[in-house]
Structure 1
Amino acid sequence: MAVTRRIFTFSVVVLLGVTAGAAAPAAAPLPTTQGVYGAVFRDDRGREIVLRGFNVAGSAKLTENGLLPFRSRADAATSAQAMRDLTGANAIRFLISWEGVQPARHTIDYGYLDRAIEQIREFTDRGIHVLVDYHQDLYSAHLFDDDSWYDGDGAPKWVIDAGDYPDEFCGICFLWGQNMQNNAAVREAMYDFWRNEYGVQDAFLDQAGATMRYLRQRLPAAAFDRIVGFDPFNEPFDGGLDGGTGAEWERRWLLPFYQRFRARMDEAGWAAKPAYVEPLVFWNTGFFEQGGLSTIAPLGTRYVFNSHYYDGARITLDPTPAGDGTYAAAMNRVRDRARTLATAPFVSEFGNSLHSDRTPWMVRAMYQGMDAGVPGASWWGAPASGGTVLSNTMWHWDIYSGRHAEPGDGWNGEDHSVVAVDAAGTVVPRLDRRVLDRLFPTAVAGSTLAFAYEDLARSGYGGAGQQQAWLAAPQSLPAIRALTAGRQYGVLVWRGTAGTTELHLPASFAPATTTVVTDVTAVTTALEEGSATARRLLLDAGAGVHAALVVNTTGGTVTAAQLAAAQRELATWRTRHFPS
C-alpha cells in the first residue's frame, strides 16, 4: 500500500496592518458532541467557539443598583465598551434577581425587565454573547437582620414571609459561605424551596417562564441571537440532605428542578438554547466535596455543565502561592465531568479577592488551567494532554468597585472586581492587563487539538512582583526556545476545515511586531466587532492539521535564520505529536 506524505511549508508573517477581515459570527454558539476531547461549542458556521469574559456584576445583589448590574444604560454602555476594548471579551454572565422580577407573588415587574433588556443590548450590540443568570446567595436578603455581619440575595420578601424561619445566626463564621452549612434560617428556607413548600418552587418557575417570554418578545432578533442560554440557579446548595449524600440529593431534588426549568425554556421560545446547569456548590471547593452531577445519566447538549471554581484551600488555610500547573487538575475535573455528561463544559465563576497579594498569580494559573490541563513545563512534550479549551466568565467586572454605599465593597465584604473607575471616569484594570487581555482561539474552523499561552503576567499589582515564564519551550526546540524566550506567545494546533480560524490578539501584540510562524499562507488581522482598538488574528487554512506559533516580538530583533529554524522545528514537532 502506498503511503502519501504531506509536506508542510511553513511561512513567517510579520503583521503590518489591519484589514477588514471576516465578519464576526452573530448567532450564539451551541454545545455539540463534535469535539476531539468531548463536546464543544460551535457557531452557525460549524466553527469551534471559546467564550471568554466576565460576570456583570456582583452589584446586582444591591438595592442601590436596583438589583441590576448597572445603575443606568449609559453605565452599561461604558462597561461594555471598556470590556471589549481592554480585554477582547466575547461573553458575559448577566445577573438578574428573582426579587427584582417578582416583588409580589402575583406581580411581574416588567419595568425591571425593560431595564435589564436595555443593559443587555449594550453588550450584544458590541458583539458580546450573554448568559442570563438567576443569581442567589444564601437564598434571600430577607432572611438576615439589618445589623447582621452577612447578607443574602435572591428570593423576594413575600417568599420568606410565607415560611416560619428562626432568627438568622451563623456562629463562628469566617466566610459568608459558611451560612449555607451553619445558619438555620438559610438552610430551612432553602430546604423548603427544593421541596416546593408553600408552592414556592412553582412560583419561581412561573416567573422564570414569564421572564423568558418577555425577553424573547422584547429583545431584537439580533440581540436574542446572541443570548447563549440561561443559568437557572446560581450555586445551588441543599439545605439538608436527610441522611443522604450530595450526589443523591442532586439526583432527587436538583435534577428534577432543572428539568422543570428546561421545560419552561421550551415553552417560552428558548428551545434552541441550552440550560447552563450548576452542580451542588461544594462539589469542587476542597471542603465538604459532594455531588458534581456524578450519578445522573448523561444530560446531552440541551444542557451545559456549568461549574464554578474557587480555591477553598488558599482562601482559608493554604499559605502557598499559585504557580505553573496549580489548577490543571481542578480544571480537568470540570472537563472530565462534562465529558461524562455528554455536553460542553463552562466555568461561569472563578477568581479571588483583590485584597490578597497572591491573587494575581492565582488568577493567572486559573486561566492557564482553562487554556490547557497540563503544566506549561510539560506542555510542549504532551500538548494533546491539554484537552478542551474551557470557556469561562470571571467573577467579576464591577465599575462601582470601591464606591458602593451599601456595606463592604459590593457585598459581604467581597473585593473581586478586576476593574475600577479612576478620577477621570475611565474604566481601568486592577490586575495586570496581561492576565485579563489574553490570546485565545475565539473560533476554530475545524477542531482544536492543542492550545497554550504564555502571558508573562507579574505576580503583584501595579507592575510589581516577579515575572516568570511558565510555558518555556524545551531545549530540544532551540530555535523556538530562542524566539519565545522572555516573550508573550501562544501556540494553536487544529485539524482544519474550510473557513476562518480566529484568535483574539491582546493589545500588547501590536500588528507590526507580531510574528506568526505557521503553515497557513493567508494570515491577516481585523478589528474585533464593536471595538476600534481590539484586534483578532485571522487564519484561512482549509483541510489538514495546522499549527500557528504567535509571538509578541515587540522591542526585539528576529533574524531570518532564527525564523527559518523555528519553521523547521515547528513543522517537525507538529508532525510528531499530531500526524495528519
Structure 2
Amino acid sequence: MSKLRARLLGVLVLLTGFLTAAGPRPAAADGLPDSLWFDEPAATLTVANGRFIDGLGREVVLRGYNVSGETKLEENSGLPFASVSDARKSATALRALGGGNSVRFLLSWAHAEPARGQVDSAYLGAATDQMRAFLDAGVRVFPDFHQDLYSRHLFNTGSWYSGDGAPKWAVTEGGYPQESCGICLFWGQNITQNGAVKAAQYDFWHNAHGLQDAFLVTAQATMTYVRQHLTAAEFAGVAGFDPFNEPYAGTYDSGQTSRTWERDLLWPFYGKFRARMDAAGWQDKPAFVEPNLFWNANISSQKQEGGLLDAGTLGPRYVFNTHFYDQKAISGILMWGKAGDGQYATDFGTVRDRASAAGTAAVVSEFGHPLSGTVSDKAPTVDKAMYQALDSRLPGSRWWTGTAASGPVLSGTQWQWDIYSGRHHELMNDNPDKVLTAGDAWNDEDLSAVRLDGSDTAVLRQDARLLDRVYPSATAGSTLAFTYEDRSRDGTTTLTWNPVPSTLPQVSQLVGSGQYGLSVWRSNGDGAPTELHLPASFPASATTVVSDLGATVDPPAYTAATPIAAAPEPGGTGSRRLLLTAPGPGTLHFALVTNGASAPSSALLNGARAELAAWAAARFG
C-alpha cells in the first residue's frame, strides 16, 4: 500500500480507533460504512520516544483491567471465562461500565503444556476465542503467562494457600520439599518464606531440568497459535506480551544481589523470550517485561534494588512493566487512616523516571486494593490515589500551579475484572471439602471491580465515578499535562482532591461540583484527532468542552471539518469519546471537558476559554 493511500485510509477511519474484522459489525452510528469500521494502522502499537504510538502517529494511553484471576483457578480449566459468551459479556461491560480500552489477558502454562513437550491446542483455541471477544469490543489485549507462588502443584490438599503457573510435571521433576510458610499472615509471604516455592523459583531461573527451555518452547507455540488463528486486523489489536508475572529469584546465589540476579538471570531470560516472540511472528510487538517484583515495594524491609538497572536502553522492543500495591495499607498496621491527595505521586514518579531512563514506555499492569476484609474501608481512597498518580506525577494541590511538571500519563490495568466474583466453585488444591465461592476464590483475595447480579448482568462493585474515567486515549502529538477530578465517593463523602482554583473563577463556575478532565498537549500536525474517553457520567447533553479549538455543549458528530466532536468508541458497546482535531504541528492546545455545567451561557464559555488560554500560555508558552 502506498504511503498516500495508507494516510487517506487512516483519515477516513481515524474516528473508529480499532476493531477486529471478525464477527458481526454494529450499525455504523458515526456514518462510516462497515468496510471502514476497522483500521489496522490505528490499532497497531509501537514504542517510540518513551511512548506507545499507534499507526496514525498518536500517543496512546492504555487503561483497563486484568482479565482475569479466574485463570488461577481450576473450575474453568485455567481460562478466564467458562464460555466465549461470558467473555463477550465481560468485554462489553469492561468497555461500557469500566471505561477500559485494554486488558492484560491471563494465560496458564499448566494448561498450555499439561504434559511435557505437548502443547494443548484445545486450550490455546479456547483462550484465543475468548481473547477475540475483547478485540471485537475494541479493546487492545496483551497476554500474560501468569504465575503466583510458582505452581498450585507445590501445595497439598490441606494447605492454607495455593499457587498457579507451572504444570504438575514441572513440580514432579523438581522433587521439592513439603511446602510450609510457617506463620504467614498474607499469601505473598510464601514467596520469600516457603521453602518449596523458593526452591522451585530458583530452579526455573537456573533452568534446572530444562524447565525454562520448556517454558520458552511453549510460549513460542502459544504466540504462533494466537497469530495464526487471529486475522491480521485482530492481531493488530494485540499490543504485546508479558512474559512472566512478578519474577523473583527464590534464593540468591552466594554473593548475588537482587540487582545482579536481574542482570545475570532475569534479563537474559527476557532476551530469550524476545527471540521466541520474533520467531513466532511477533517481531513488531514489544515484550512487557517486569523487574524483580520487590524493586518498588513501599515497605522498606521488602524493598530490593532493581528495576532492570543494568539492562541498558530497552528501546522500542520492550516496555517497562511493573506492579504497585500499597502494602502498608494492605497490612492494616503500617498505614493508619485513609489515602490522601498525592499519596502515590512519588511511587508512580519512580516508575516514570525508570522508564524514561530505560528509553521506553511504562505500564503499571497491576494495582488495586482489597474490597472486603479489615482494610477494605481504605479502597475508595487508595484506588483514587493510584488513578490520580497514573494521570499525573503531581498531587491535586499542586497541579494547577506546577502543571509543567505533571509528566506523562501512565498506562495501567487494575487488578482485576472477574465477572464470577462471589460465585465461584473452586476446590482449593483439589480438596472437595474446601469449596471456595467467595471473593476471588484464591488465597482469600477479593479485588474484582465487577460481578454478575441475580439476572447475570455485569454490575460494578466500585464507584463508577472512580473506574469510568476521562483519560487521553490517543493524543495527536505529546501530552504535556493531564488531570481528572472524578469526585468519587468514600461512603457519603465526595473526594475532591483537585478543585479548580479561585484564580480561574469562570472555569470554577463552569465546572461547579461536576467531574472534569483537562488535557494540555502539543500537536504533531498529522491531521488525526486527539481522543479522550467520555465516561457514562458524561451524557451528550451534559458534556461541555472548552478548548483553544472552541467551546461547545453537546459536541456534534464527527466530520473532517469539526474541531470538537463526539463519536462512539469502537466495538458497539455504547461508550463514547471526544475527538479534537487540531491543525498545525508544534502548536499548544488545551481541552477542558466537564459535566458540571447546566446550559452555560456563551459569555461563561468564552470567559472560561479566555482564562484557560492565559493559564496555559503562562505555563507552557
Q: CA deviation at 1:125?
A: 1.1
User: Within the alignment, does 1:451 sit opposite 2:482 as a pair?
Assistant: yes
| Structure 2 Cα separation of the partners of residues 403 and 123 of structure 1 | 22
Q: CA deviation at 1:176?
A: 0.5
| Number of residue pairs the alignment of both structures matches | 553
Cα deviation for residue 46 of structure 1 reads 0.2
Task: Give, in whole Å, the separation in 1 of the partners of 2:30 and 2:409.
Answer: 27
Partner of 1:260: 272
CA contact (8 A) 2:58 2:474 kept: yes
Structure 1: 5+ residue stretches without partners: 1-17
Aligned to 2:508: 481
User: What does the per-residue CA deviation read over 1:121-156, in whole Å, with 9 as the maximum and x for residues that have no partner?
Assistant: 111111110000000000000001111110000000
Which AA in structure 2 matches 1:257? F
- When residues 29 and 357 of structure 1 are mapped into structure 2, their CA distance, relative to the original with a 3 A threshold, is farther
- Structure 1 distance, partners of 2:218, 2:578, is 43
Determine if contact 1:80/1:123 at 8 Å carries over to the other structure: yes
Match status 1:302 vs 2:326? no
Distance 1:50 1:528 in 2: 15
- CA drift at 1:532: 4.4
2:86 to 75, 79, 84: 75
The Cα of 1:386 is off from its aligned counterpart by 1.2
Conserved? CA contact 2:473–2:533, under 8 Å: yes
- Is 1:417–2:448 an aligned residue pair? yes
1:460-499 paired onto structure 2 within 5 Å: 460=491, 465-496=492-523, 497=525, 498-499=527-528
Matched residue, 2:608:
566
Q: Distance in 2 between matches of 1:576 and 1:93?
A: 39
Matches within 5 A, 1:264-413: 264-287=276-299, 288-290=302-304, 291-316=306-331, 317-355=334-372, 356-406=376-426, 407=436, 409=439, 410-413=441-444
Residues 29 and 41, structure 1, Cα contact 8 Å, conserved in 2: no
Question: Contact (CA 8 Å) 1:88, 1:528: kept in 2 or not?
Answer: no
- Secondary structure of 1:228's counterpart equals coil
What is the root-mean-square deviation of aligned Cα atoms in Å? 1.5
Give the match for residue 502 of structure 1: 531
Following the alignment from structure 1 to structure 2, what is the Cα–Cα distance between the partners of residues 427 and 30? 29
The residue identity in structure 2 corresponding to 1:367 is Y
How far is 1:31 from its partner? 4.1
* CA-CA distance at 1:484 after TM superposition: 2.0
Percent sequence identity over aligned pairs: 51
Task: Tell me the CA shift for residue 24 of structure 1.
Answer: 6.8
Partner of 1:3: none
* 8 Å CA contact 1:25, 1:43 repeated in 2: no
Aligned residue for 2:307, secondary structure, equals coil
C-alpha distance in 2 between matches for 1:557 and 1:49 = 32
d(CA) in 2 for partners of 1:272, 1:440:
26
Query: How far apart, CA to CA, are the structure 2 residues paired with 1:136 and 1:532?
Result: 32
Equivalent of 1:527, from 559, 565, 568? Answer: 568
Conserved 8 A contact 1:20-1:527: no
Query: Per-residue deviation at 1:564?
Result: 2.5
The residue identity in structure 1 corresponding to 2:358 is L
* Aligned 8 A contact 1:469 1:486 in 2: no
Q: For 1:515, which of 526, 539, 544 is the aligned residue? A: 544
TM-score, normalisation: structure 1:
0.93
Which residue in the other structure is 1:549 paired with? 592
Cα deviation, residue 510, structure 1: 1.3
Separation (CA, whole Å) in 1 of partners of 2:194 and 2:481 = 45
In the alignment, the residues of structure 2 paired with residue 23 and residue 222 of structure 1 have an alpha-carbon distance, to the nearest angstrom, of 11
Q: Once the 2 structures are TM-superposed, how far is the Cα of residue 567 of structure 1 from its aligned partner?
A: 1.5
Q: Counterpart of 2:126 in 1: which secondary structure?
A: helix
Q: Does structure 2 retain, via aligned residues, the 8 Å contact 1:31–1:304?
A: no
Instruction: Report the alpha carbon displacement of residue 516 of structure 1 after superposing the two structures with TM.
Output: 0.7
Classify the secondary structure of the residue corresponding to 1:550.
strand
Instruction: Kindly provide the CA deviation profile for residues 298-318 of structure 1, in whole angstroms up to 9, marking residues without a partner as x.
Output: 211100000101001111121
Q: Which residue of 2 aligns with 1:46?
A: 57
Quote how far apart the aligned CAs of 1:553 are: 2.6
Counterparts in 2 of 1:254 and 1:358: CA distance versus 1, 3 Å:
same
For 2:531 and 2:152, locate their aligned partners in 1 and report how far apart those are by CA, in whole Å.
Answer: 43
Indicate if the aligned counterparts of 2:47 and 2:286 stay in contact, CA closer than 8 A.
Answer: no
What 5-or-longer segments of structure 2 have no aligned partner? 1-28, 427-435, 551-562
- The C-alpha deviation readout for 1:395-453, integer Å capped at 9, x for no partner, is 00001000111235321110000011000111000000011110011111111111100
8 A Cα contact 2:513 2:596, kept in partner: no
**C-alpha separation in 2, matches of 1:434 and 1:107:** 46
Q: Secondary structure at the match of 2:272?
A: helix
Query: Is the 8 Å Cα contact of residues 151 and 412 (structure 1) preserved in structure 2?
Result: yes
